[in-house]
Chains A and B, each alone.
Chain A
């Protein structure tokens, strides 16, 4: 149980285009999902916290107009990188917390990540 999927697992796009990444909780409902960015050999940087049915809360320094987050249902959150540039190339990871208290200790279940390369 507690499986989180991401799609696509990797994507290559051209500068100036937009890319959408999906994060799904497959066997539980997630009121809260998180989006992280990870650079090579570095820790995870939290970008934003996404709550179902409300606006995402972005961390300081993260451009909300560039990284659009939508959490329309209890099992799906999307991250759209708009007008992508090469410096947006990174590994993006989502995680989810269980609505029904399975993670009452606040642990998060992570997706497998999406490798974005902008050329």
Chain B
């Protein structure tokens, strides 16, 4: 079965510092990986995706993610965190065995303090 794991329930970082939100995956075949962000009482907003090509993927709002096949990881990163980045972040993988639906991780709360 396809799955993703987000090992951290919460990540705290000071404004201006780099941030990393971790994600590891387990898939059969080539992974299609996604990051979404959710603000309180809102739906999910797409940040970025990895399908193929460069391992470093750049997305919305200055976020990027690095695909690492050997470590089966797809960590979300940003060089300089903003207080407004505080939200709930979800990693997801396409489930090719399940009608191409997305399988989501448990989510990681990011808190950026000024």
Contact = CB atoms under 8 A, between A and B. Distances in A.
Given A42-B107, A43-B90, A43-B106, A106 B100 contact: yes
A110 interface: yes
B104 A44 contact: yes
Interface of A: 4, 6, 34, 41-44, 46, 49, 57, 91, 93, 95, 105-113, 115
Interface in B85-107: 90, 94, 99-102, 104-107
Nearest 5 pairs between A and B by C-beta?
A110-B43, A110-B44, A112-B43, A113-B43, A106-B94
A99 to B, nearest CB: 14
A95 B46 CA distance: 11
Interface stretch (B14-22, B34-42, B64-72, B75-83): B34-42
Contacts of A4: 43
B100 A109 contact: no
Given A105-B51, A106-B94, A93 B107 contact: no
Interface residues of B, number: 22
Given A43-B107, A49-B99, A49-B101, A107 B46 contact: yes
A110 B36 contact: yes
A112 B40 CA distance: 10
Nearest to B9: A41
Given A42-B107, A43-B106, 18 more contacts: A6-B43, A41-B107, A41-B109, A43-B104, A43-B105, A43-B107, A44-B90, A46-B101, A46-B102, A91-B41, A93-B44, A95-B44, A105-B51, A105-B94, A106-B94, A106-B100, A109-B46, A110-B44
Nearest to B39: A112
B111 interface: no
A34 B92 CA distance: 15
A112 B102 contact: no
A111 B51 CA distance: 23
Interface string B21-40: 00000000000101010000
